[in-house]
Structure 1
Amino acid sequence: MDKSAQTRRNRRQSATFFTLGLIFIVGLVVMLSNVYQLDGLTDTVHDRHAIRQNTRLRSLQQFQAAGGRGVVGEARTRSVCIFARDGPAILHVKAVFERLGYDIRATKDDDWDVLWSLKSPYVAFGERLSKLKPHQKVNHWPGLGSVTSKSDLATSKLLSAPVGYRLPKETDAFRAATKANPDKMWVVKSGTHRGVRVRKQVDNVLKIRHDANLFIQEFISNPFLIDGRKFDIGVYTVITSIDPLRVYTYEEEILLRFCSLPYHPFDEAEVNKYVVTADYTPTWEIPSLVEAYNNFQYSHKQALNLHLGRQGHNPKPMWQAISDSIREVMHAKEDGIREIVRKRFSHQNFFELVRFDFIIDEKLKVYLLEVNMSPNLSSGHFAPNKWLYEQIVYNTLKLVGLASATAAHPADVSKDERDMLVSLRDIQVASDRCASAECDDNCKPDICQLCQLCRTPYFTDSVKAAFLEHVNRGNYRRVIPKPLEEQPSTVDVSKAINSTQNNHLMTMWFRGKCEHDKTWCT
């Protein structure tokens, strides 16, 4: 190889090494640059993460300061403790709670949001029910046994109930009543509604061995009959507050139950002729009602109203008398219930669903028979009642705020969310008078006590709760405070109405709302 060729070869090798070196240096620079940028990016990410964490911390602090008690970003599920043996009695209750997104919790777990019990829970749960958290709800009021006790109710001398006597304690009064009305028949009852039996002879009644659960009550011997059957009318009722007293009845539907045997010919030995038992005859088996109920899909109440109208009766006074009877009972018992609640419990943790049972006579006069705690909600015997019971449960939970439209756990509801549902401006009434000199000078006049500047915090909370109940009432309608559009009462309960200052103010508040919006009159 000549010298010139070797020189050219050396030059090519040098150029190759130079190119490779240059590529290596450029790559190294790029790599170092990327590392530097990645490091900066990491710092930025850490900075942003820190900012985000600080923001969350500030949000949490603001949330807690506003009244929330949960952890931001933590999804908590609402829960219900159903204190009852699993079976048909709670099937529909469980179904409604599950559809509303509730978890079913064990009885031993106290971290529930709702306690739904078929019997009074105060023995089983003891002092725990006097130490409830603000958001927890229980479906039985302390002290409401004075309403649901059959013997107490029958012997309370209510105007809307057949007169009753405790024997032997009230033997003399009973003898005087029978002497004045020798043709009346009497029915012997027990607190469990077992052993009901009509007695025509007074001496036979007095020979019965009586105990604390037995009592005697006037028997309504001329009941209104449909297709020869005696029946009772069950009206579902919810007590949402005791002080001030607020009570609602399920307006769109009732429970109709017919005796399993025709009333005539009357036979006091055959109780199925005059006592509604568990094996009662349902509406859809009564010839005069079956077309309206099955073919036209009328409710029990609509079918009854249609039949009464065809018989020449106006049912409106009857329903008015039923509402008046419910008011009479609740006003008669409210003071005793309120005192029991005040001693140990908070007013905000309880509600109760009961069923008032009535009968009517040939002239449609209303008589209250009893008030049932934890009324039957099982469709095991009568499957078509499934939707009645599930609608009752759903509307009840909606009325008392347990069918929430917001996703927040009850314990985590912030002040912003509460103000979104109802604000102070929503509950203002009589603004022209509240801004007057009369209220500016003092808070003593009744109307002034509805003003924002004069209301107590307790009453403000009560009014907010009443506002939400009205908005969420569904098929329920208020009976206490009395709706302003109703006709004069057929039962004189004027002495009982507004027996407390809070009740009086609540009635005035509804009246003020009604003046501006007629929907509040009902």
Structure 2
Amino acid sequence: MPLEKEKFMLYAKKYPNKLFVQKQNNHRGIKIKSSHELDFNSSGTFIQEYIDNPLLIDGYKFDIGVYTIITSINPLRVYMYNGDILFRFCPEKYEPFDANNIDKYVIGDDYLPTWKVPSLKKYYVDQGASMKVSVESHLKTLGKDATKIWDQLEDAIRVVCLEKESKIKNLMSNYESKTNFFEMARFDFVVDDNLKVYIMEVNMSPNLSSAHYPQNRLLYEQVLFNLFAIVGLTHFERKQDSIKMAVSMKNIVAYPKSCDEMNCQITCQSENCKLCYPCMDNETKIHLTNAYREHIDRHDCKRVFPPTFNTKLIENSEDLNGLSPKTRLMYKWFKGKCMSDPEWC
């Protein structure tokens, strides 16, 4: 607000019974309101539809936090920490619902942690399972398939990063080096009782302090361990010869047979030839070397984009043409590595 006021009013008119929350950038003062109660002139705020049928566990509403690492913008590479997911529960049960009691639907600093939710404690505490596995195990006892949630989380992260790719890429033009870059964020979601996922917000530089809940220390340490590994902060080699021991040209070649058939050693006019040894420039070699190292060092991280090749993909050329040339090449490179080794899929 207020730039998209007209767009919002059209939506509110179409759905007159919808309720909304209005947020400031500091995430304070959140309260459910009707469209007539919202402040459309307050700058720096945004309005979201309130999901009034949230999925509850033991009567408590919760949100889901997914730690996400962007290791490169152009070409785009995105990973999510897959070792666990942060679950935070409202301190009071959702029913009977009272819009004036924000502890029923807003998750603040004093949220109810997983180990205090009765149906999850037996998995998280007694069996030593992760938050993700604890929730998955509980939902399975209710006949619900939690994989529907995990798939939607991944899709949402991918869509947001692709939509913002061009804007961030333009900002990168201000910097001489295009490879010394990474960003970690936490994507926050809410789930309704039909297992449909809604994105709430993306938090840059998310809080990783366990001062409030010491039990979260291991989760945060593992997030940081995986972050440092995948962005190369734990690499030991410094000299060119030792770097080649880790990644050489033979490791990043992806389409030797196709490259030979396209005669890329004679002409490099085809975009696909840019992935072939005779046509590969030094910048592409650097990007592919970094991508190869990330794949090796990903530990408990899962690649979100380019997508894994056992999910619903961007397969046709029209969709790929919406990406930057470098991102298209990166996508094709991962696909080529997958074709030669399923471990890369």
* TM superposition score normalised by structure 2: 0.95
Contact kept in structure 2, 1:400 and 1:469, CA below 8 Å: yes
Aligned to 1:238: 69
2:217 is aligned with 1:392? no
SS at match of 2:138: helix
- Alignment of structure 1 residues 210-359 onto 2, 5 Å: 210-359=41-190
Contact kept in structure 2, 1:331 and 1:497, CA below 8 Å: no
2:6 is aligned with 1:181? no
Equivalent residue letter for 2:279: C
2:336 is aligned with 1:503? no
Equivalent residue letter for 1:514: C
- Alignment of structure 1 residues 438-517 onto 2, 5 Å: 438-487=263-312, 495=319, 499-517=323-341
Aligned to 1:50: none
Contact kept in structure 1, 2:320 and 2:328, CA below 8 Å: no
Equivalent residue letter for 1:476: C
Structure 2 unaligned runs (5+)?
A: none
Alpha-carbon shift at residue 174 of structure 1 (Å) = 2.6
Aligned to 1:196: 30
Aligned to 1:133: none
Counterparts of 1:171 and 1:463, CA distance in 2: 44
SS at match of 1:357: strand
Alpha-carbon distance change, 443 to 388 in structure 1, aligned in 2, over 3 angstroms: same
Alpha-carbon distance change, 498 to 474 in structure 1, aligned in 2, over 3 angstroms: farther
Equivalent residue letter for 1:517: D
Contact kept in structure 2, 1:354 and 1:374, CA below 8 Å: yes
SS at match of 2:277: coil
Contact kept in structure 1, 2:265 and 2:279, CA below 8 Å: no
Contact kept in structure 2, 1:433 and 1:439, CA below 8 Å: no
Alpha-carbon distance change, 473 to 300 in structure 1, aligned in 2, over 3 angstroms: same
Counterparts of 1:336 and 1:172, CA distance in 2: 24
Alpha-carbon distance change, 291 to 437 in structure 1, aligned in 2, over 3 angstroms: closer
Alpha-carbon shift at residue 288 of structure 1 (Å) = 0.8
Q: Select the residue among 261, 269, 283 that pairs with 1:436.
A: 261
Contact kept in structure 2, 1:185 and 1:199, CA below 8 Å: yes
Counterparts of 2:7 and 2:92, CA distance in 1: 34
Aligned to 2:210: 379
Equivalent residue letter for 2:92: L
Could you report, residue by residue, the CA deviation over 1:487-506 in whole angstroms, capped at 9, with x for unpaired residues? 458xxxx8478511111111
Aligned to 1:363: 194
Sequence identity of aligned pairs in percent? 40
- Alignment of structure 1 residues 73-88 onto 2, 5 Å: none
Aligned to 1:7: none
SS at match of 2:174: helix
Counterparts of 1:191 and 1:289, CA distance in 2: 32
Aligned to 1:123: none
Could you report, residue by residue, the CA deviation over 1:176-227 in whole angstroms, capped at 9, with x for unpaired residues? 2222111110111111101111113x3222xx37322222211111110001
CA RMSD in angstroms comes to: 1.7
Structure 1 unaligned runs (5+)?
A: 1-165
Counterparts of 2:336 and 2:214, CA distance in 1: 44
Alpha-carbon distance change, 225 to 471 in structure 1, aligned in 2, over 3 angstroms: same
Equivalent residue letter for 1:505: L
Equivalent residue letter for 1:190: Q
Alpha-carbon distance change, 329 to 497 in structure 1, aligned in 2, over 3 angstroms: farther
Structure (1 or 2) with the larger CA radius of gyration: 1
SS at match of 1:368: strand
Could you report, residue by residue, the CA deviation over 1:382-439 in whole angstroms, capped at 9, with x for unpaired residues? 11111100011011000111112x3x5xxxx111011011001111111112223532
Counterparts of 2:11 and 2:245, CA distance in 1: 59
Contact kept in structure 2, 1:332 and 1:496, CA below 8 Å: no
Equivalent residue letter for 2:178: H
Aligned to 1:424: 249
Counterparts of 2:233 and 2:297, CA distance in 1: 10
Alpha-carbon distance change, 230 to 496 in structure 1, aligned in 2, over 3 angstroms: farther
Counterparts of 1:212 and 1:227, CA distance in 2: 38
Alpha-carbon shift at residue 308 of structure 1 (Å) = 1.6
Equivalent residue letter for 1:423: S
Contact kept in structure 1, 2:5 and 2:40, CA below 8 Å: no
Alpha-carbon shift at residue 339 of structure 1 (Å) = 0.9
SS at match of 2:279: coil
Counting matched residue pairs gives 342
Counterparts of 2:26 and 2:275, CA distance in 1: 45
SS at match of 1:435: helix
Equivalent residue letter for 2:256: S
Alpha-carbon distance change, 308 to 488 in structure 1, aligned in 2, over 3 angstroms: farther
Greater CA drift, 466-475 or 371-380: 371-380
Aligned to 1:112: none
Counterparts of 1:170 and 1:485, CA distance in 2: 38
